[in-house]
Structure 1
Amino acid sequence: MKNLGFELNDLFDIAQVDALNLMSLQEDKDFLLMQRQNGRPGIMLGVDMNIAQKEKRANERLKMSEKRRKRSYDEIQSLNAQVEMCSSSESDVTEDDFNKPGSSKMYVKQPTRGSIDFITSKLAAALDKCKISDRDAVHILISTEEALGGDVEKLIINL
């Protein structure tokens, strides 16, 4: 019975016949020779440095990604808090202040295309946070409204 086990061990020696000729590192050749001895005394020690470095870089990238995600989340929370503070406080500036002689009329919001003003301060803050230009924001908002099946002509889409 013991001989049968030894024959199975020899049967599962799956190295190539000319493996010793193909190997360039002496350490690899020594390991293969030890594996071919009775009882297979050869063992693998140490760490594969290439894999260890790849794993280390992957862990570092993951940590950096988590830091960026946390920082972005904190910035969004901060912006939301600022937007809520701005929207909750009453403004001392009235529309009449802009209509006085000598004042700029460009700040008076006059609907030219529609009558529904749906751009909230939170939406404007989100677009600013994502660094979307006013021109791109208009394209995105119009496309979104059309995709939802709404009438774009009813909306005020000036930023």
Structure 2
Amino acid sequence: MQKSRIIKKITALHKEWKSLQKNATRRTDRQAHLEASFKNTFDDLFDVAHADAIKIIKIQEDRDFLILQRQKGRPGSLSSVRDKKLHGKESRRTKREQKETKRKTKVQEMPPSCASSRDVHSSESDSEDNNEQQGKADEAEHVFVETVDTVEQNSKRRRGCTNVLSSNLVATIDTSKISVRKSTAVVSATASALNVDVNSINVYKSSLHRARTKLRKQNAEKVKEKFQENLLQSGTKLICHFDGKKMKIGNTVQERLPVVVTGYNIEEQLLGAPRLDNGTGEVVASAVFQALESWNLTDKVESTCTDTTSSMTGCDKGACVILERKLNRDLLYAACRHHVFEVILKGVFEVTVAVSCGPEIP
């Protein structure tokens, strides 16, 4: 079998098919005859054998098979090639059936008394064989179970259960931006440096991840409770600051909305930085309202501090207007408060320091 012969054969068939396809719209007798002849070749042998294959093949049976396959209709088949393993199984099964048939025939030909004693003896021997086989099977199963138990006991390592994570440690790991996988290495190395058995502490990746998630939630609840206590003691009203910011999260850049509240005699508090699908006023107002609602501050906010873009301070679809609708009350706009402070400082600077009109300030 040569590659060039195969390519030539396939190319010739393709050309013939393209020629028939080109004239497919013709309904002449010649066209119909050509199409029928081409379809009849589908059942013929796709012969890519060597030109001298008949001379090269040494086994007469294979040579005869190739000759038959090249004929019209491809008489013959490969069913004569038998599986040796299957043939062996069938032969043994046939022999067993023949022996069983002979035994039954002999039993039927015996007198009744001999036949009954023969059956009793046969049943006893069969019962003994079955009991012996069952005993061997039970013994093998018992040995297997003992082996499995021994392997499991030897291979099973004691899992450390001492929890070493605390709120301060989790906060330090999060502040340092250490991943969960790297934090396991840090904790293990620290324990080894302090002469603590690493096998006795819980330093598994999944356990550390669950512990960090749980402690973060607990810390967040503590921060909320402390802020609520301070707010209740001061009794002050709050100003809500929010503005969009693009942040790099992994390999992507996302639009985030930091929401911060400030008030008299109270420290500023970050409520969250939710992700925004877009920067429309409706989306921004919904994100701010959800942040205030999660901290139970919807009745404490009296003012908003944002920039003066149309999406924030628009008269109809601005975020501040929509937030007022959600809160069912009016808010004081303190837009661009930092820019107002800059204007005041600019006036103070112009009064106290000489103004320079040149490109360089002396």
Scaled by the length of structure 2, what TM-score is found?
Answer: 0.17
Larger relative strand fraction = 2
Q: Which has the higher contact order (CA 8 A, sep 6+)?
A: 1
Computing the radius of gyration from Cα coordinates, the structure with the larger value is: 2
